[in-house]
Every structure is written in C-alpha cells, then in structure tokens.
Chain A
Amino acid sequence: MTTITTPPMTPTAPERMVVNIGPQHPATHGTFRIECVLEGERIIESRTEIGYLHRCFEKMSETHDYWGVIPYTDRLNYCSPMINGVGYAMAVEKLLGITIPKRAQYIRVILSELSRIMDHMVCVGTSLVDLGAITNFWYSFRAREVIYDLLEACCGSRLTVSYVRIGGLAADLPPGWVEHCRKLIRKDIPQAISELDKLNLKNPIFRLRGQGVGVMPRERAIAWGWTGPCARASGVDYDVRRDIPYYDYDQFDWIVPVEQGGDVFSRYQVRMEEMRQSLRIIEQYLDHLPGGPVIVDDRRIALPPKNEVYTNIEALMAHFKLIMHGILPPPGEVYSCVEGGNGELGFTIISDGTRKPYRVKVRPPCFAVFQAFDEMLRGIVIADVVAILGSLNIIAGELDR
C-alpha cells in the first residue's frame, strides 16, 4: 500500500496581472484608458492614458471668427454646455472691455445653474449605476430631461445650445419661460433631489462603497490643481462664483458646501448640496430678473435687430460690416474663469487684433482632477476603480478638447 503525501503548501509570490480598462468601457462614460497592474485584487501601479477624444478645439479656434468658436464650446463639457459658452464669451468680453446688459447676465446665470444641476444629476446618476444602483438613474435623468426642455425652449436645441453671443445672448427668453422655470425649480427638480437623497444618503451599501474610498487629502487636492466639487469634498473652500465673483453672484444669498471626508461619499454629498444651492440661486435671479435688451448695443460687436436691417440703411451697413470684418478685439492677453460643473473652467485668449483669436487655451477642470488618478489608485482594490472614477465626473470632451 502506498501512502499519498501532499506537498507542503509554500507561499508563492502573488501573481501579477495587467488589466486594461477602456477606452470603451461602460464606466468611463467617454473614452480614456486605465492600465492597472494587479497583485490579487490590489492595484500596485496604474497608468492613465487620455487623448482618445481630442478634437483639436484649440487649433480649430484659431481658424474661426470669435463668434465661430461658440458652437465648439458646447462640445467641451457636454453635460453642462451652457457654462462653457458663458466662460468663453466672458473671456472675449473681458478682452473687448465691455459689460453686457444685466438681463443677459442674469439669464446666463440662470441657465448656467440649471446646467450645473444637470451636470451633477448626470454624475450622481451614472456613478451610482456603475455601483449597481440603477434606480437612481431614472430619478436623476428625469430631472435632467425637464431642464433640457427649458434650454430647448430658449435656443431650440437640448445639448448643443450655442445660446450665448459675444456681448450677450442670441435671443430673449420665450414668453412664459420664467413661470415654467419657476414651477420646475419649486417642484420637479427639488423632488428629484430629495428622492435621490432618500435612496442613497442612508443606504448602507452606498455608504460602504463610498465612505473612506478614494480619499484625496486637502493638501494633495490643492497640489494637483483640483477645483470644483471634488476639491470642496476634500475641504478646499474655493468656488469661483464666490471668490472671483461675476454677474452679481456675491449679491445673493447662497453658500458653498464643503465636506472634509475627501472620499466618494463626500463628493456625492457636495454635489447634492450644490444642486440645492443652485436652485436657491435660480430662484433669486428669477425674482430679480431685470427687463431690457439681452445683447450690447454696439455695432462693432453685436448684429443690429433683423427688422432694422431690412428697413434701415445704417443697420444694413452695420450688419454687412460686422459679418465681413468680424469682431476685432484690441491686441492683448486675458485669462478669465467661471465655475464650471467640475471646477474652475478657464479660458486664456490672446488677440493680435485680427478677426480670429491668435490663441485660445482652455483650462479644463477635469484635466487637473484626472491627473491625480494614478496616485489615487495605488494600493486600492480594483472594484473601487469604478466607484472613484464615477465620483470624479471625468468628461472626456473637456479632458481632451
């Protein structure tokens, strides 16, 4: 009879494996790639690769008139297209040294804040889908849909709005818009926000997946150039709307929510609270919405009203002259920023005095946020990659431009 001896168990070096996530992966919500080296389930090293959605925004801007760049800005952060247009137009207006009419400023703010709600709704909804909580998606996207309707009523399109013009807006709000907007921000949207919170705030699964996961300490967040909701979730009390105020943001009553956790859950909390604050801002701006024109009365910048073009020789000449020669800002260099959905959205514009910008450089908030991703992944388990990625709200359109 033979005895069977089993060889003694010896600890072996953990097997290493490379896992590639993306560029086409449901959790990337866009196109970028993350390569991870795993030991078991733990990531020991990773490398992030971007550029798959690079569409030469900056190069193209140099070949267009100042107003011709506006449609491209909608394709930067396509979750909140209105804010990009406002940011770009503000930079050109700074270069021109003009102040746009109050009504145009206020409408820009109202639509920017609606866009911010949309942006956060997309982020919260889709990141929770990535964690398996698909129900949230319907609540958040229903709210987003009613905001799309509001934007569509203003400019005829849902996403590619192109509603701003250098010096103001393309058109005034349609009749009845303010009442409709008021109804939505008092009922439909707050309801969606509170329903989302009811589903998630005390949800033990979400808390387990979010609390203490993907922690970004405050000092590192600043060092990496983080701004916006992700930075505020790490305790950085910075918001362009309050700290470099534009369009009367400092005149109204609202707060900048800041959380200290720096984790996935804190980022969720900041976004939810920001949506509530945006509603407060919209309500106040609607109350104080002044009358008057929505574009500057300057024939070197804005086209004359159409009925005048057809009836008045001077207006016809002004129209022709502007179309033929374009807007001609003085030579100069400006940096101007707004609070985008993901943080400080900056535009550096250099003019050489001709009708086309000499150089347009975008500071996309995502770009600074996402460059810290490899540092965040070191040592975590692979299942958390998707949770962290969703909470950062990386928008490839603005990341790659």
Chain B
Amino acid sequence: MSETMGPAAANPTERLLKEELGDRVLAASESHGDLAVEIRPEALLAAARLLKEHPALDYCYLMDIAAVDHLGQDPRFAVLYNFYSLRHGHRVRIRVRVPEDAPVLDSLYSLWPAADWFEREAWDLMGVQFRGHPRLVRILTHPEFVGHALRKDYHSAERHRLSRTYDLFLEEKAGAPPAE
C-alpha cells in the first residue's frame, strides 16, 4: 500500500509557516510548480522544527541543501533546503539568505542527520557555516584547500597542492604508534 497521497492534496505549508513565524517569513512563491518559502535566517531552526513535527506537515525527509552565491547582491548567499513529506507527498523549498560578513546558519543535524554531509558540502564549496554541526570540515576538497570553489569570485584556474602527507585520522584514538 502506498504511504503517499500524491501532490494533489492542498499544501498547508505556507499557511502554517506564516502562522508560526509571522513576519519572519519574507516571501512565498509557487513557480514552476515548486513551493518556495523565504524566511529570515534566525527563524531557520524554528521553521525546520515545525516542518518536521507538525502532523499536517510531517516533512520527514531533508532531501537536499543547495548553497548559492548571488555575488553583488546583499545578502550575498542563499541556502536552499528541500524537504519532502512521505505521508502527504508535499514538497517545500526553504530559502534563507545570509550576508557575506557572517555567513552562519543553524545546523539542522539535530533534526535530520541527513544534514551532515550536505552542510559540510555547503561549507566546503561555498563557505557557509553551520552552528552546531558536529564536525564541520571540508568534504570534497582536501584540508589545505584555500577558499571555497563554488563562489563566483573563486577563479577556477587556482591550484592548491597538498604540502605533506597526512597520517590516518584515527591513529591517535586507537593508541597505536604513529606511522613512520
């Protein structure tokens, strides 16, 4: 038996978010059939909790986190969160804008462990930081990489080479002698 009811049923997400967050919801639009709601960055955790825990919403899936660099605009960065509700078949995209001088957001790791690598990727490639992430380190580039490759002002001809070899991370924890 299917657990989903398809996208046809009316989606109460926009209404409930506005009720909960008030003027912290900045805009809501439905373009190309996608519901997108823009909220203030400090409301992210409250919005995420509502999306996950309200029975009429029940967004059990955090599908994707996409960071975007709108160079020349203020605030400069946008982070798009894609949620999906298995029970209701609804989708919503939450958009949050953060400024260049403080690109910091609350981590959603405590609500969805799925945020783990998606947030690390947004940090690695776009330089957006996530408060409360258990281990916010680079994921696709190496530890000596300088800058954030997907920013519009990152020049793709730049090269960063590793200066040395690295020991195994977990060697120390294991109490084994370091490799020679």
Contacts and interface: CB of A to CB of B under 8 A. Distances in A.
A226 to B, nearest CB: 8
Contacts of A372: 113
Interface string B1-19: 1111011000000000000
A242 B141 contact: no
B93 A335 contact: yes
Contacts of B138: 51
B82 A222 contact: no
Contacts of A332: 31-32
Interface stretch (B40-48, B96-104, B163-171): B163-171
A375 B3 CA distance: 27
A227 B64 CA distance: 12
B176 A18 contact: yes
A37 B3 contact: no
Contacts of A238: 3-4, 86
Nearest to A337: B63
Contacts of B125: 58
Contacts of A359: 66, 68-69
A179 interface: no
Q: In terms of DSSP, what is the predominant structure of the interface of chain A?
A: mixed
A20 interface: yes
B145 to A, nearest CB: 10
A146 B169 CA distance: 44
A102 interface: no
Interface in A19-64: 20, 35-37, 45-47, 50-51, 54, 56, 58-59, 63
A46 B173 CA distance: 11
Given A54-B141, A59-B156, A348 B82 contact: yes
Contact of B64 (A50, A58, A335): A335
B140 interface: yes
B73 to A, nearest CB: 11
B112 A59 contact: no
B34 interface: yes
A371 B114 contact: yes
Interface stretch (A71-79, A110-118, A360-368): A360-368
Nearest to B120: A371
A316 B7 CA distance: 43
Nearest to A219: B60
Given A16-B175, A238-B86, A333-B36, A243 B2 contact: yes
A277 to B, nearest CB: 15
Contacts of B106: none
B61 A47 contact: no
Contacts of A94: 32-33
B170 A45 contact: yes
A237 interface: yes
Nearest to A13: B175
A192 interface: no
A225 B86 contact: no
Interface in B103-125: 112-114, 116-118, 121, 125
A112 B61 CA distance: 25
Interface residues on chain A, size class: 35 or more
Given A224-B113, A225-B114, A372-B113, A346 B140 contact: no
B40 to A, nearest CB: 19
B160 interface: no
Interface in B16-74: 31-34, 36, 60-64, 66-69
A201 interface: no
Contact of B2 (A47, A58, A237, A334): A237
A35 B169 contact: yes
A227 B84 CA distance: 11
A208 interface: no
B139 A50 contact: yes
B131 interface: no
A236 interface: yes
Interface string A323-345: 00000000011110100000010
A6 B72 CA distance: 78
Contacts of A35: 168-170
A367 B117 contact: yes
Contacts of B69: 359
A346 B176 contact: no
B27 to A, nearest CB: 12
A51 B150 contact: no
Interface of B: 1-4, 6-7, 31-34, 36, 60-64, 66-69, 80, 82, 86, 89, 91, 93, 112-114, 116-118, 121, 125, 138-142, 149-150, 156, 168-171, 173-176
11 contacts: A18-B174, A45-B170, A95-B32, A243-B2, A244-B89, A334-B31, A348-B80, A361-B68, A363-B66, A371-B113, A371-B116
Interface of A: 16-18, 20, 35-37, 45-47, 50-51, 54, 56, 58-59, 63, 94-95, 97, 220, 222-225, 227, 236-238, 242-244, 332-335, 337, 344, 346, 348, 350, 358-359, 361, 363, 367-368, 370-372, 375, 400-401
Query: Which are the 3 A-B pairs with shortest beta-carbon distances?
Result: A225-B114, A361-B66, A363-B64
Given A236-B86, A372-B113, 10 more contacts: A17-B176, A35-B168, A59-B149, A222-B60, A225-B118, A242-B2, A335-B34, A337-B63, A361-B66, A367-B121
